[in-house]
Amino acid sequence: MDRIIFHIDVNSAFLSWESAYRIHHLGGKLDLRTIPSAIGGDVAMRHGIILAKSIPAKPYGIKTGMTIVEARQKCPKLYLAPPNYSLYQRCSNAFIDILREYTPDVEIYSIDEAYLDMTSTIHLYGKPVEVAYQIKDRIHEELGFTVNVGISSNKLLAKMASEFKKPDLVHTLFPEEIQTKMWPLPVSELFFCGRATTKKLLNMGINTIGDLAHTDIELLKSHLKKQGEVMWAFANGLDFSAVIADVPAQKGYGNSTTTPFDVSDSETAKKVLLALCETVAARLRADNFCAELISVGIKSYDLKYASHQMKMKNPSNITIELYHYACQLFEELWDKHTPIRHLAVHTGKLLSGSMTRQLDLFDMTDYVRLETLDKTIDTIRHRYGNDAMKRAVFVHPERTKHRLIDHMEGGVSREKRYLDYSELKVV
């Protein structure tokens, strides 16, 4: 039996979730989905980019990833709402919970989209299109936002189908429909075809997905190497990947942050690194992992990026030990004068459980004490909040701008994590 694969994608996810929450829980009257609007970060904190946009904002040329300044120039009356990631995660969880009622084979592709392998359960609910409408309508009725559903016999075609006309629609794209529904589309709309690849294909005279599907595969490989073969297969609707319900094993933990000001001194940079190590180490401990490998990345004011990595003497999840190695890498990497706008700390080569340390006659550090201290701090923060315990260096910052450095940096920034709606005028 042919597989039945659904791809379900929330329409303008962050903006839809924000709008639904304001209408159904805060008594708002304005539906952000019906006007030119967007979700954007804080310009003052240098997080000023568009994270999601409404469909009415699209004709103005508003795009995800665009700076807020540029978006305002294109659409002066653009309604801008701040992000609230805690809300988005709750909406995503509720969305996935509904999908899992229809099949155990749900692959979470991102916070706002998922694949469902309905092959073994579709007979319980009806015909594929009818079931897709049932799921779509149920999400709208119970959660207040809309989704698109793509249906096909593989993940690629289901994904392509869900990207057809939006919002709140169901589309099919089975192999027999490729010629009429997919091949006439611009090659840029093919899944996995980025801007650089699109440019190369256009220079070759390949304008549509159909052109690509009928191009000699060896010619594509000569210009695009292995990716040329992948693009040709996708253009012909070929995809044999399975829907993977199990979450892949974690390969590493890392966090990064864009600093709210250019960092030009080692002391401040190391304070940011300490804040990053604080969150990375806490995540390692929470999942009972130790890391053997650590790396530090630096993005300068002119957006140039460089990184170094090293293997630690012993696998560790101790905050201060990770910080020691991070500082060592930072000193090797930074040229001492180029202003820094972004710092990252990543760990890899994970080992599960408690690790035995290699003895060192010249190292008098009490690692058992440090491990116990970290675990105690984790417990206190879990019970009373992350701000219940801070390292002294973050308690009384000497200079005003240092107050902008969070003692637990990285991941979703604090201002995006929680939103106080009492300070907003919800209309």
Does 214 lie in the same domain as 74?
no
Bond prior to 167 in cis (omega within 30° of 0) = yes
Q: Is 113 a catalytic residue?
A: yes
In this structure, is residue 245 part of a structural domain? Answer: no
**Which residues make Cβ contacts (< 8 Å) with residue 27, sequence separation at least 6?**
426
**Residue appearing with tokens 């459980």:** 353
Q: What is the pLDDT of residue 47?
A: 59
Q: Tell me how many domains the chain contains.
A: 3
Does 209 lie in the same domain as 161?
no
Q: What is the pLDDT of residue 417?
A: 67
In order along its 427 residues, the chain shows pLDDT tens digits of 589 999 999 999 999 999 999 999 999 999 999 999 999 876 655 557 898 999 999 999 999 888 888 999 999 999 999 899 899 999 999 999 999 999 999 999 999 999 999 999 999 999 999 999 999 999 999 999 999 999 999 999 999 999 999 999 999 999 999 999 999 999 999 999 998 999 999 999 999 999 999 999 999 999 999 999 999 999 999 999 999 998 777 889 999 998 888 999 999 999 999 999 999 999 999 999 999 999 999 999 998 999 999 999 999 999 999 999 999 999 999 998 899 999 999 999 999 877 677 777 777 788 889 999 999 999 999 999 888 999 988 887 655 555 678 888 876 666 666 677 777 778 7
Strands (E), 140-287: 147-152, 170-172, 252-263
Domain that holds residue 378: 252-417
In this structure, is residue 351 part of a structural domain? Answer: yes
Does 148 lie in the same domain as 8?
yes
Among residues 178, 195, 216, the one where a domain terminates is 178
Does 114 lie in the same domain as 26?
yes
Does 157 lie in the same domain as 23?
yes
In this structure, is residue 108 part of a structural domain? Answer: yes
CATH number, residue 198: 1.10.150.20
In this structure, is residue 240 part of a structural domain? Answer: no
Q: What is the rounded distance in angstroms from the CA atom of residue 364 to the CA atom of residue 14? A: 50
Does 340 lie in the same domain as 404?
yes
CATH number, residue 169: 3.30.70.270
Does 156 lie in the same domain as 85?
yes
Among residues 235, 268, 303, the one where a domain terminates is 235
In this structure, is residue 169 part of a structural domain? Answer: yes
pTM assigned to the model: 0.82
CATH number, residue 296: 3.30.1490.100
Query: Could you tell me if 112 and 156 are in contact, meaning their C-beta atoms sit under 8 angstroms apart?
Result: no
Does 143 lie in the same domain as 7?
yes
| CA geometry: angle 14, 16, 22, nearest 5 deg | 100
Q: Catalytic pick from 18, 101, 107, 113?
A: 113
Does 227 lie in the same domain as 137?
no
Does 114 lie in the same domain as 27?
yes
Does 68 lie in the same domain as 50?
yes
Does 146 lie in the same domain as 209?
no
For residue 405, CA distances in Å to 264, 335, 376 come to 14, 22, 24
